Chain A
């Protein structure tokens, strides 16, 4: 059973790899054909302009609408970005074949070896997003990863698939500082776990506290530090833990509008990644800190800033904040105009959050 499952997973990973390689090849072949026929090659990219980002209620996330922009090598003002994208596809193709990974920063510098100039990293980042949109695949699939690292801790066995580590296994509770979530972990096979829940927490400080207080053992959980807004590799891993291991995901953030939105992005994605679909955990639950918790737990607060308040109003017009807990808590934040951090629980002792608050919330999560 286990071996079958593993085989399955391996096959799945290989298929994914092959999909990317095929997509890249198709793309190249089309451009090749155009050139060979004496035509200026062109392709279309789904438009990522605000007007083309729509909320899909079924998918419970933002997706791109139907409008697409044509990028043509005939148009001299697009020629440069056309070439940049072709280079990136070429580069991604090599990475995928060689099973090597690269970072956004790497891409920026690698381009220079091929006489492709990017003004700055933000230009190369943009082209990467373009390629994601063209292929409808996240950059991680073609082996380009962000710099940001978040971490994971808990009883989870994984098996590496990256070159040089293939077949090597690791238990993620062996190192108390946690394991960085990077390319090798995101692409590793998830073998087995004793955990029954995933707790994503916004802050590194609390992550360490949770490890120290053995929240993993006490509550049979895998603890993930999102380090603020969760990076895409972390969101990918969260999705895999949920989908592949069948674990529920709960999110614990600061008691403010930004915290609420961190949870929302894990649940239903961001507008920035509207062109991608495999990054969300629609069943993820935000358990706190809620605006209503501030009163309930008598937490010390600080006043909201102008930009906090503006953010509240912005989110009120987001379709995802039109109902349930999301709407309710947002309204309360706006009403009390105060916020509380996770650390606020320390007022009642360092372990107050793990001893008192967390158990309550875990209980509550079951009914959410």
Chain B
């Protein structure tokens, strides 16, 4: 365990990302400006979503020197009405990489909050200006920080910290970065526009560097239900994740320092008087049930060491060798390593091994995974060839790999719990589509939850036709976890499904004014590339998309045939209005009459005639 931690620390995360900033979408001034906008806006929306606040996000981009040609420094400011960040967390949240609150498993736009820090890092690299963070969690006091990132140490450097009184809560982040708005502008505008479509409960404002203002007011007043944080599903797990979960499940051997000794004394009620070894043990036995786990571990150690508190102060525990039932320690007095045997029959031995070797396999599975009960856990253990009571801590590397493989393969698990997902919902989606496209026809659907590789997902879709939609459709708007996907649509699974559809079967012909909106919600979207712009064609996702599209297409076809009939009837009525008066005029002269025949009633009749009938 410890060796892995060391390796991880050899290069600081900030430095790692600095070296690999292309991966995170900061490859050039155009892309970087766009990515920075995305990261901050998405963070704001996520923060509001989590607290059930209807988001009001204000974004502005201003050129530092408008006269300079692109690429040039811009100030990007994103301000929200979210919960804000507590003053003490601000420096770490914005001044270190890998600090974030998104480690739990639920659907969110961003992951781990890496992107915002990357944007700050990129800004700092290109302009050497600090990030300005203003945060108010209570709507009364606002903390304002100017921060720089110490890249090597992955630590924030606070340049300035002030507070002032305000009337609104929320967070405002402002960075200075090298960007190319001339090139990125249209993408950013598209991004804002499309984001507001899929976030109809949010108000989003964008002031662009040219002084244009884009304002999208919220069109629904209810938040979609918030996702709950849930445990991972067994199918979506890998060896590394299991390792991390084990670390969480194991208590480290407590460091027995003065503070710890003080705590043990206090919990045993021995703060003042000093008892000898046996006295301490008696006292502990009486109070065992009330003792916390670290205290129990210390008592257990003492039981084998047969030491009182004074002696305990003079040694350091080095290792608990469970297989050999030996306890190693370093004696400061003698300056040498010593060991004692542990009696396996002792209750203290159980306590120690339990601590060191962690939970049993079945406990581990039922406690740390979703949708696994005790009986499933036992069945799984049998399937994987482990004893159900096997301690997690006693697993070798090979066994862990075997466990991970078996978790993937075992088919007895229930499918993933979709409660961690936050689809937008049919009604808000339909409202968004109607507001944005003003179509003649709109239909939406939400597919039931499904899963791929242990990750639950839900597909939502909408289809709209006619009205103010421009021709040349289908125009496809792709979303994943409420993020618009703007690049690389060619290789996307949604496009694949749309292009596979023979639209003429659904009475859609020519150059149709026609929009398709797809929204894939998942705890993990299977992006094809690190740029997070196109979704890979996982079979399960493709299937749901296909079914959803077929359902909507059938609705569209029904609408189209009605529309066709109406158009036909109108066309026909126009024809009659045009030609009947002419016929009347000609036959009047032919018949040698002076007054035209009374054909008006023919025009008034509602004419529904099948051409073939007459």
Name B576's closest neighbour in chain A (CB-CB). A79
Sample (13) of A-B pairs whose CB atoms are under 8 Å apart: A28-B590, A29-B587, A31-B590, A32-B584, A35-B583, A35-B599, A41-B587, A75-B614, A79-B576, A86-B583, A87-B586, A90-B587, A115-B582
Q: How far is the CA of A326 from the CA of B597 in the complex (A)?
A: 55
Is there a chain B Cβ closer than 8 Å to A25's Cβ? yes
Q: Which of A25, A27, A38 contacts B598 (CB 8 A)?
A: A38
Asked if A31 meets B582 with Cβ closer than 8 Å, knowing A38-B602, A90-B590, the reply is: no
A297 within 8 A of B: no
Q: Are B590 and A93 in contact, with the CB atoms below 8 A?
A: yes
List A contacts of B592 (CB < 8 A). Answer: 25, 28-29
Q: Which of A74-90 contact B (CB under 8 A)?
A: 74-77, 79-80, 82-83, 86-87, 89-90
Say yes or no: A28 contacts B614, CB within 8 Å: no
Residues 574-588 of chain B, each 1 if its beta carbon lies under 8 Å from chain A, else 0: 011001101111111
Would you list the 5 A-B pairs with minimal beta carbon distance, nearest first? Answer: A28-B590, A36-B597, A35-B597, A90-B586, A28-B591
Please tell me if the beta carbons of B602 and A35 are within 8 angstroms of each other in the complex.
yes
Residues of B within 8 A of A116 (CB): 582
Q: A28, B575: Cβ atoms under 8 Å?
A: no
* Complexed CA–CA distance, A114 and B584 (Å): 13
The residue in chain B whose Cβ has the minimal distance to the Cβ of A42 is B614
* Most interface-central of A35, A89, A93, A115 (chain B CB within 10 A): A35
**Is the CB of B248 closer than 8 A to any CB of chain A?**
no
Question: B582: which of A28, A33, A72, A114 is its contact (CB, 8 Å)?
Answer: A114
Q: Are A74 and B590 in contact (CB under 8 A)?
A: no
Q: A32-B597, A35-B587, A90-B589 are in contact. Are A79 and B602 (CB under 8 A)?
A: no
Q: Does B505 contact A (CB under 8 A)?
A: no
CB <8 Å contact, B611 and A28: no
A83 CA to B572 CA, complexed, in Å: 14
Could you tell me the distance in whole angstroms from the C-beta of A365 to the nearest C-beta in chain B?
47
Taking CB atoms, residues of chain A closer than 8 Å to B587 are: 28-29, 31-32, 35, 41, 86, 90
* Chain A hits for B571, CB < 8 A: 76
The verdict on A165 contacting chain B, using a C-beta distance below 8 Å, is no
B601 interface residue per 8 A CB criterion: yes
Q: Render A93-114 as a binary contact track against B, CB cut-off 8 A, 1 for contact.
A: 1100000000000000000001
Contact digits for A185-208, partner B, Cβ 8 Å, 1 yes 0 no:
000000000000000000000000
CA separation between A80 and B576, bound complex, in Å?
Answer: 9
Of B579, B591, B611, the residue contacting A32 (CB under 8 A) is B591
- Cβ of B272 under 8 Å from chain A: no
Judge if B593 is at the interface, Cβ distance under 8 Å.
Answer: yes
A72 to B579: give the CA distance in the assembly, Å: 12
**Chain A's nearest CB lies how many Å from the CB of B585?**
8
A79→B592 CA distance, assembly (Å): 23
CB distance from B609 to the nearest CB of A (A): 6
Q: Which of B555-572 contact A (CB under 8 A)?
A: 571-572
- Say yes or no: A31 contacts B572, CB within 8 Å: no
Q: Which of A28, A41, A76 contacts B589 (CB 8 A)?
A: A28
Asked if B602 and A77 make an inter-chain contact with CB atoms under 8 angstroms apart, the answer reads no
Q: How distant is the Cα of A80 from the Cα of B614 in the complex, in angstroms?
A: 15
Q: Which of B582, B588, B593 gathers most chain A CB within 10 Å?
A: B582
A73 in the interface (beta carbon within 8 A): yes
Partner of B575, one of A25, A35, A40, A76: A76
Interchain CB contact (< 8 A) of B602 among A31, A40, A90: A40
Closest to B610 in A: A75
| Interface pair A79/B579, CB less than 8 Å apart | yes
Q: A76-B611, A90-B587 are in contact. List 13 more A-B contacts (CB 8 A).
A: A28-B586, A28-B588, A32-B593, A35-B597, A35-B599, A39-B602, A41-B583, A74-B609, A76-B575, A80-B575, A86-B582, A90-B589, A114-B582
Contact B601 A38 (CB under 8 A): yes
Most buried by A among B575, B584, B585, B590: B590
The answer, yes or no, to whether A294 is at the interface (CB within 8 Å) is no
Report Cα–Cα, A24/B585, bound state, in Å: 14
A residues within 8 A CB of B589?
A: 28, 90, 93-94
- Across the interface, do A83 and B590 meet the contact criterion of CB distance under 8 Å? no
User: How close is A144's CB to chain B, nearest CB, in angstroms?
Assistant: 16
- Residues in chain B near residue A93, CB distance under 8 A: 589-590
| B591 interface neighbour in A25, A39, A73, A115, Cβ under 8 Å | A25
Given contacts A28-B591, A32-B588, contact A72 B614 (CB under 8 A): yes
Shortest distance between the CB of A27 and any CB in chain B (Å): 6
Partner of A83, one of B582, B588, B598, B601: B582
Among B576, B584, B601, B611, which residue has its beta carbon within 8 angstroms of that of A77?
B611
Given A35-B599, A40-B602, A74-B609, do A79 and B586 touch, yes or no (CB 8 Å)? no
Instruction: Give CA–CA (A106, B237) in the complex, Å.
Output: 86
Q: How far is the CB of B190 from chain A (nearest CB, A)?
A: 44
CA distance A87 to B589 in the complex (A): 10
CA distance A90 to B587 in the complex (A): 7
Contact with B along A21-56 (1 / 0, CB 8 A): 000110111011101101111000000000000000
Q: Please, what's the 1-or-0 string for A263-304, where 1 marks a CB less than 8 Å from any CB in chain B?
A: 000000000000000000000000000000000000000000
| CB of A325, distance to nearest CB on chain B (Å) | 47
Shortest CB-to-CB span from A116 to chain B, Å, is 7
Q: How far is the CA of A364 from the CA of B551 in the complex (A)?
A: 83
Complexed CA–CA distance, A268 and B243 (Å): 103
Bound Cα distance A213, B597 (Å): 63
